Structure 1
Amino acid sequence: MTTHTESAVVKGLIPGGNYIFEVNAKVEDESIEGDPLNISSYTKPGKVSNLNASDPTTDSVHLQWEPPAGNISGFRVDVFNEENVNIKTLININANKTSLRVTALPPGAKLWMSVVALVPDAFVKGEPSTVMAFTSPGDVADLELVPAAYTIKVTWTAPEGNYETFSVQLNLTALEQEVEKKEQNASPLSFTGLKAGAEYTVTVTTLNGYLKSQPRNRRVFTLPVPPEPAKIDNFTESNITLSWGAPKASQGVELTYLVKYTTQFWNLTKTETVKNATTYIFHGLHAGTNYDFEVRVKAGTQESSPVTVSWMTTPNKRVLTITMKCSSSKPLSCEDNHTQSEVLSKLREHFRKEFYKKINIVFWELDWREA
């Protein structure tokens, strides 16, 4: 180029190109030239296009873009918060890399992210391309469930960062069935009108616009209530069939029952676990023995108060004969009616004391016949 001024605009260069410019003076007829001076410089790199922010988490966002035409040596990413404060800068990203997950960001934040193309000259950079982005809100902490028979109270600690509201979902665990869902701005809240002795799953999710946190959940059983009264359906010398009704407050719930018997005479206790049934047959019992039964509902680690019933197995009657031999130092003392009556009276008293202690504990009958 020839110019008669002390400046010139050089056009048609490649963006991001490294050029050496040489200038020398000439006389009017261009027959004589002065000594040249030269300077090198980069042209400004182009602007990245199609910048997109996606796949947000609580502390990261994925950026993707298309490189500009021309030469570049890398990219610079800047992150600004709502107050337009630069909170993060990443420099000298590989020129062939056009996507990046920006990490260590604040949760629940509204951010602006810009990407500029770079050349080796730190004073030359492209125009920024900017996109708005959001990080997901943080998870709740300290999720606690406090159950009663028909209610569950839910408490939690809100996360750091921004959020709008909380979604709290209640599911019947066994059926994986949603029972109720609520949205609330703060802890706590309560679910009411629940089934007693049932296991529920409570899930709490933080919401910020269309973004959601990772859900937090816990399980808990509502407190059990006693079953309907127990009764004896059948009995033999060694078996007793016990039945009861499911609590009306637990209809439709798969329940676990603890069925227990005790017998004072034999000093025995036995507990069986019955799942989702309302009858049980006790085998191997002692004949003619009174058994005390109780049935409880078990829910998690909690047990209801019991319903009770007592029943005696069919007695297996046997006759025991006692023969007594009398000897005395006094002649004819054993033949004396008074002596015989006195001995028999003491014997009767002994058996009465022993067996009267066991009234309603074991079957017995006492019949005296004097030979």
Structure 2
Amino acid sequence: MRDAGGSEPEIVKNLQTENITTPSISLSWEKPDGNASSYFIQILEVPSFNWTSITTSKIIEGLTPGNYYTFLVSAVVNNISGNSSVIACYTVPGEVKNLTTKDINTTSISLSWDIPGGNVSHYLIEMYGPEVLDFTVYTNSAVIGDLSPGNHYLFLVYVIVDGNTARGNSSDVSAYTFPSIVTNLTAEIISTTYVSLSWEPPVGNTSSFMIQVLHNSSYNRNVTSTSAIIDHLTPGNYYTFLVSAVVDDLVKGNDVNLSLYTKPEIVNNLQTENITTTSISLSWEKPDGNASSYFMQILGDPSFNTTSNSTTSDIIERLTPGNYYTFLVSALVNNIRGKNSVITNFTVPEQVTNLTAENITTNSISLSWEKPDGNASSYFIQILGDPSFNRTVTSTSYVISNLIPGNYYMLLVSAVVGENNVTGEAETTYTYTGES
């Protein structure tokens, strides 16, 4: 813009850029020495841009984010342009969009974002957490590793152009790394209806622990301690317990599991019946909850153990006549025994042998016999005749007196055991007293 008929204006002073944004740059300058009727503005990188301004400032809009621009401003008088004052700068780079975290684990977090409009030379990631670091990446994703489990991290991502001199506004996202797994999960107490669990806290941070019971979908419980009592369980049932560390009430680590059976309940209504000299029948009712079989212990002479598969009765054989036995019956699941239900009883004594009436007089009869197989604590003698009477003795002989001469008597002797006088089958003999 020249005209040979006039003098050239001076150069404008103090050309500056200010209020730089992604699509605009504000220019300002001072009037040159001498006269200037207007100002001519050019952008080297945009040849089509030519603008005349009568003021000493101008907002240049419609620019590309993160682009480098060179501005030339010259004073004009009577269509005569002076020398240009020159200034160059970048527009602010665009802001990344859709910044997202993904693939989070205990020690790393992956970031991804959409490439913004305009120019990008690289991205700056600032991380704030237990560690404060920054990273430069050249793609629109990054994996941030070597993090601490269960910690909160804030990530700011900037677009950078021209080294590090032109930086866009940050986009931010925050996330927790997953907590590590708890260790040494143990069932310290197992009862019929509750289980006491304990564990050690994981490496890193945790704010609470989530407990789940696989076989009870409604059970989800958060605790802040490293132990818990899980109650209202079914006796003899199989349970899998899952324990995981939690941070921020939402971010849950991987589960550690422990499977076990609760103890079966005690059997109900244990009874002895059909007692013989060498056998006793046991019966009982199924306990509350589950039981797959029953374990029986027989304490006495002989002592032994046996298992009954699923039935609630059994005949205990090969016992000693007249012996005292203690029977303990407990429910079983997966070889886990419940408490014993206990009952005691004697087997019936055997029959005495070789019962003999001897030394018979007019008013007395001497009886003798041999001890039966097994045990006998005393003997019960019945005399049926005139007179009739009973006697209990501890020896294997007895003289019956005060009888009537020439009378016929039936004599019965049976072995006896126990406080309740469990009596065996009687051995019998018949005889007359002598005539007077």
Higher strand share: 2
Match of 1:214 in 2: 254
Residue of 110, 116, 137 corresponding to 2:158: 116
- Given residue 189 of structure 1, which amino acid in structure 2 is its aligned partner? A
State yes or no: 1:91 paired with 2:126. Answer: no
In structure 1, the residue corresponding to 2:112 is in which secondary structure?
strand
Residue of structure 1 in register with 2:332 after alignment: 298
Give 1 or 2 for the bigger CA radius of gyration: 2
Other structure's SS at 1:147 match: strand
Corresponding residue SS for 1:183: strand
**Contact 1:167 1:183 survives alignment (8 Å):** yes
Q: Which residue is equivalent to 2:79?
A: none
Unaligned runs of 5+ in 1: 24-39, 316-347
In the alignment, structure 1 residue 51 sits paired with structure 2 residue 96: no
Q: What secondary structure does 1:142 align onto?
A: strand
The 5 Å alignment of 1:23-38 reads none
Distance 1:269-1:357 versus aligned 2 partners, 3 A rule: same
- Give the distance between the partners of 2:233 and 2:343, measured in 1 at CA: 26
Structure 1 contact 59–135 (Cα < 8 Å) conserved: yes
Counterpart CA distance in 2 for 1:163 and 1:144 is 19
Shift in Å at residue 193 of structure 1?
A: 5.3
Query: Which structure 2 residues correspond to residues 242-253 of structure 1 after superposition, within 5 A?
Result: 242-247=282-287, 251-253=288-290
C-alpha separation in 1, matches of 2:117 and 2:233: 65
Deviation readout 1:230-271 (Å, 9 max, x if unpaired): 4467799x9997532223xxx23344422466995xx79563
One-letter code aligned to 1:154: L
Gaps of 5+ in 2: 3-9, 18-42, 47-62, 73-87, 351-367, 377-414, 418-423, 430-436
Q: Aligned partners of 2:281 and 2:373: how far apart in 1?
A: 27
Once the two structures are overlaid, the 10-residue window that deviates more, 4-13 or 150-159, is 4-13
Counterpart of 2:268 in structure 1 is 228
User: Does 1:205 pair with 2:244?
Assistant: yes
Shift of 1:131: 2.0
Secondary structure (helix, strand or coil) at the match of 1:121 reads coil
Query: Identical aligned pairs, as a percentage?
Result: 22
CA distance 1:59–1:127, change in 2 (3 Å) = same
Match of 1:106 in 2: 148
Q: CA deviation at 1:66?
A: 0.5
CA distance in structure 2 between the aligned counterparts of 1:354 and 1:233, rounded to whole angstroms? 23
Aligned residue pair count: 300
State how far apart, in whole Å, the 1-side matches of 2:205 and 2:220 are.
22
Contact 1:42/1:121, CA 8 A, preserved across alignment: no
Q: CA contact under 8 A between 2:235 and 2:289: conserved in structure 1? A: no
Does the 8 Å contact 2:291/2:332 carry over to 1? no
What TM-score do you get using the length of structure 1 for normalisation?
A: 0.57
Distance in 2 between residues matched to 1:112 and 1:216, nearest whole Å: 29
- Contact between 1:260 and 1:270, CA under 8 Å: does it hold in 2? yes
1:78–1:90: 8 Å Cα contact kept in structure 2?
A: yes
What is the DSSP-based 3-state SS (H/G/I as helix, E as strand, rest coil) of the residue aligned with 1:355? coil
The Cα shift of 1:42 comes to 7.9
1:131 aligns with 2:176: no
Aligned mate of 1:63, from 111, 126, 144: 111
Alpha-carbon separation, structure 2, partners of 1:179 and 1:50: 37
Q: 1:153-180 CA distances to partner (integer Å, 9 max, x unpaired)?
A: 33333345544433334x4x7xx12575
Normalised TM-score (structure 2): 0.50
1:355 is the counterpart of 2:366 = no
Q: In the alignment, residue 165 of structure 1 is paired with which amino acid?
A: S
Q: Which has the higher contact order (CA 8 A, sep 6+)?
A: 1
C-alpha distance 55-281 of structure 1, shift in aligned 2 (>3 A):
farther
Conserved? CA contact 1:145–1:154, under 8 Å: yes
Which SS does the other structure have where 2:309 is aligned?
Answer: strand
- Within-5 A mapping of 1:261-272: 269=304, 271-272=306-307
Measured in 2, the distance between the counterparts of 1:192 and 1:310 equals: 37
Q: For each residue in 1:42-80, what CA deviation from the matched residue of structure 2 results, as whole angstroms up to 9, or x when unmatched? A: 876433222123454333333221012244344332211
- Structure 1 contact 54–63 (Cα < 8 Å) conserved: yes
**SS of corresponding position for 2:105:** coil
SS of aligned partner of 1:155 = strand
